[in-house]
Structure formats: C-alpha cells, structure tokens
Amino acid sequence: MAEMTRRDFIKYAAALGIGLAVGGGIGYSLKKPEVQVVKESASVVGEKIKETIKIGHIAIFSGPFSTYGELQKRGSLLAVEEINKEGGILGSKVEIIYRDSAAKPAEAVKQVRSLVESEGCDFIIGIDSSGVVLGVAEVMPEVNKLLFVTHAATHKLTEELVYKKGIKEVFRIAVPVYQDGIMAAFIASQLPATKWACVHPDYEYGYASWELFKKTLSKLRPDVEFVGEAWAKIGTTDFTPLISSVMEKKPDGIHTVEWGVDLFTFVRQAKQTGLFDAVKYDGGYAWINPMGYSIDAMEALATEYPENCWVSGRYLWVYPDTPLNRKFVKAHLDKWGHFPAYSGETSYTAVYLIKKLIELTKTLDIDTHIKTLEDMVVFSPAGARYIRKEDHQAMYEVPYGQIKHDPNYSIPVLTNLQAVPAEEYYRYPPFEEMPPYKELYKKIVTKA
C-alpha cells in the first residue's frame, strides 16, 4: 500500500502543479519576522542541555474518536525517531510520552500535571478538542511549561486566553476555526446557495464555526439566509431526526464541521435521506465540510462521499508542492503506509519546532523560548507558518477543494483547489469586530 500511495502523491502533485510562495507578506507585524527552517537533515552540534528532553503528547486515545490520537502519534513519533537517528537535540535524546485525554477537560488537565510533575516532561503538545484545550490552557502558567496545540481549533484559545488573558505559555501550530468558519464562508460566497443550514457537533467547536460562518457570509453575501440549525451530541449514531429537522427548512446549502466517526455516520445517512440532493447545483454540491478531507474520513468513506462536495483540513498532503512536504509525505508513507493526516503534520511540526527552539536558544528557559517564538516564521511541510506575537497563533493557508473519485488513486483526491492568503481570512487583534471582508472574496486564488 505504501508504494502505491507514494506514486499517488507524485502523480497527483505533479498533475495539480500547485505551490506556495513563502517569504515577504506573511503576517502583519511591523517587526521583520525571523525565518527559521523547522525540518533539517541533521542536528545542530552544541552543548548538551540535558540527557533526555521529554515531550508529553496528549490526545484522544480511547473511545470512538481514538483514531485521532493515533493520527497525531504517527506524526510526532516519526519526528522523534528522525531526530534521534540524527543525534537528538544538541546531543540530547528525545523521548515522547503519550497520554489519553479521553476527550474530557478534567482528564486532560490531570494528564498535564502527571506528565510535568511525575514524568518530568519539558514540553506538552497535542489536544484534540476545543472544549478540552480551554481547560488545559488555564493550567499551563501553573506548571510553567509550553503547550503546542496541534488540533483543537476554537478561536477563544488564542483570542481570549492568550491575547486578552495573557496566558503566554500556549502556542497553536494548527490553523484555527477561521478555516472552518471564515474561509468556509469565502467558498460559500461563490456558490449559488442562498439558504444555508448547519449540522454541527454540540460543543464549542461547532458553535464557534457556525457563528463565524454566519457573520462572514452575511458580509460577503447580504442576500443569504440562515434557515436552520441542528446540533449533534458527540457519538450520535442516528442523525436522521436532525437531518429531517433541517430539511424541513428547505436549505440549498449545508455547512457541517462534523468529524471522525460522527462524520462517517452523518454522510452515510445524509445520502440515504436525500440531503445531498437538496443542495445539489450545476457543478457540485453546496456542501461545505471544513475538516472533510481528513485521512480517516477519506479512507473510511472513500466513494461513499459524493463527488464535488467542498472539503478542507488543517493541512492537505498535496499542498504545498515543496521538497519539504514531499519528503515528509514519503517518510510518513514509508513508516505507516498511510498519507499523513492534518493532525499528523501539525504534531510532526511541533516536535521539530521544539528542536529548532532549543538549538536557537541553547536553553530550556521558558521566557527565552516565548520571546524567540513570537514573530517567528518557520518553514514546515504545510508551508510557511508565521507565529503572531499577540496571540501565539501560527498563520498559514490551507486550500479548499472538491472531492473527486479517481480509480488511479487509493483515496479520493481534490480538484479545483481554492485558497486565500492567511492574512486575509484570519482575525486580527484586538478581535473586537469581524474584519471588513468587503470584496475580499474576489481574491480567492485558484490553485488548480
């Protein structure tokens, strides 16, 4: 399987001819960002900081969403093995310890304390759920360690806890809910649908995504209406009552941020009940699923997911078409036999960012690390990430595309990739109002 999918990647990337320009224009700070390369071929030689540098990785490793812990683990473990093979970090071995959050804030906080106090971890990475990350972030000043968030997306983490409350020990490597709400609205603004409804998970991530989607699309398309909402508890096995309640409102567009096993169930039942037919237009479906191009979804649903639905992720394995990304995808395929998930890339990047951070500063001092990370630009498999000083959010673009089933590929591929520069759809401090998106949707760049 690995050999076949490796060929898939080469053919697909070459066919799309996609790329990303990095350098000037990333971010908005008046200060010129310091550019660093996260992935290097060899470790920097220097004085050993300590015998073993320990990283605690917290994710969901149990229950129906346990796959997401494994997807993260594939990325972080790959990075650790590569780094140790090349001599570690300034000669120090890297050890990574995995803990299960069980998708519960209290359990995740408990694991943070255990990793720091009992295991002696120097850094914490991971966290899948928006609800969980808000609880974990609050304790990071107390344990006095850096947290690199690799999945959880709520904007409240960076806008409220980091920027407004001043919790500086938290950095997010993954694209935030701006991708799920704001960028999704940019795509929706190009579609013929005028009556939008949602089917969302009934917790912070769903609420934040829908709110940002509505606010943004209302500015871009004053003619649209938001006619229905349905909220699914985590682990819902029967979506039909929710689908029926939405279909009664006669929407011609659906926005859904369902993910994991809930997404699999929802898509299958949406097909059975005719929801896809209700949002079909000439050229595709007015169906926007921001995290729909997750590897677990593509492998599980395959051809069950209708062609020409609009999907994205927090990283796409074909984007950008750079040597760094190609090398990462190949290494991931060689080790795991699967394409990297978006949370796999963010976890991989988090580990390499820790490596770069220690090599630059030659210390484990947290204040020095925070100052070094702020306003830094790093090149990673996902492209250039600019880490904003104000809110510690990494800024980088991720396109949307339409699902296509091609028998030459092992999973569905994407066509018609659409991207907007990150600085044009991320919210900015002081986060009091939505940005004036007037006419910005015209800047959508067709990548393929």
Q: What is the pLDDT of residue 31?
A: 38
Task: State yes or no: pLDDT of 438 exceeds 70.
Answer: no
Give CA–CA dist 133/176, Å, rounded.
Answer: 12
Give CA–CA dist 129/202, Å, rounded.
Answer: 12
Please report, for residues 228, 346, 353, the alpha-carbon distance to residue 55 in angstroms, rounded to integers and kept in the order given. Answer: 44, 15, 12
Q: Is the omega angle on the peptide bond into residue 430 within 30 degrees of 0, that is, cis?
A: yes
Burial class (CB in 10 A: 0-12, 13-18, 19+), 274: exposed
Per-residue pLDDT reduced to its tens digit, 153-195: 999 999 999 999 999 999 999 999 999 999 999 999 999 999 9
End-to-end CA distance of the chain: 27
For 344-356, what is the mean pLDDT?
98
pLDDT band at 424 (very low <50, low <70, confident <90, very high): confident
Between 30 and 91, the more confident residue is 91
| Beta strand spans in 206-305 (E) | 225-232, 253-255, 280-281, 284-285, 287-289
Give CA–CA dist 285/307, Å, rounded.
Answer: 8
Nearest CA-CA partner of 293 in 340, 242, 239, 230: 340
Written as six digits, the tokens of 445 are 């760049």
For 226-233, what is the mean pLDDT?
98
The domains found in the chain, sorted by start residue, are 22-175+320-395 (3.40.50.2300), 182-318+399-442 (3.40.50.2300)
Q: What is the pLDDT of residue 30?
A: 28
Task: State yes or no: pLDDT of 197 exceeds 90.
Answer: yes
Task: State yes or no: pLDDT of 16 exceeds 70.
Answer: no
For 12-31, what is the mean pLDDT?
33
Give CA–CA dist 116/145, Å, rounded.
Answer: 8
Q: What is the pLDDT of residue 36?
A: 57
Q: What is the pLDDT of residue 211?
A: 96
Q: What is the pLDDT of residue 128?
A: 93
Written as six digits, the tokens of 398 are 């991720």
How many other CB atoms sit within 10 Å of the CB of residue 434?
A: 13
Q: What is the pLDDT of residue 434?
A: 60
Per-residue pLDDT reduced to its tens digit, 387-408: 999 999 999 999 999 999 999 8
For 290-303, what is the mean pLDDT?
95
β-strands 146-149, 123-126 pairing: parallel
For 218-247, what is the mean pLDDT?
97
Task: State yes or no: pLDDT of 441 exceeds 50.
Answer: no
pLDDT band at 359 (very low <50, low <70, confident <90, very high): very high
Task: State yes or no: pLDDT of 117 exceeds 60.
Answer: yes
For 411-419, what is the mean pLDDT?
94
Per-residue pLDDT reduced to its tens digit, 33-90: 455 555 544 555 567 899 999 999 999 999 999 999 999 999 999 999 999 999 999 9
User: Tokens 């473990």 sit at which residue?
Assistant: 77
* Alpha helix stretches (DSSP H) within 173-256: 182-188, 204-220, 240-247
Phi, psi of 372 (to 5 degrees): -70, -40
Please report, for residues 48, 175, 237, 314, 338, the alpha-carbon distance to residue 319 in angstroms, rounded to integers and kept in the order given. Answer: 36, 14, 33, 11, 16
User: Tokens 């299960």 sit at which residue?
Assistant: 100
Between 408 and 324, the more confident residue is 324
Query: Average model confidence (pLDDT) for the chain?
Result: 89
Written as six digits, the tokens of 393 are 């959010």
Task: State yes or no: pLDDT of 209 exceeds 70.
Answer: yes
Written as six digits, the tokens of 21 are 């320009």
Q: What is the pLDDT of residue 43?
A: 55
Q: What is the pLDDT of residue 35?
A: 54
Q: What is the pLDDT of residue 48?
A: 86
Residues 6+ apart with CB under 8 A from 49: 89, 90, 92, 358, 362, 363, 364
β-strands 253-255, 287-289 pairing: parallel
pLDDT band at 9 (very low <50, low <70, confident <90, very high): very low
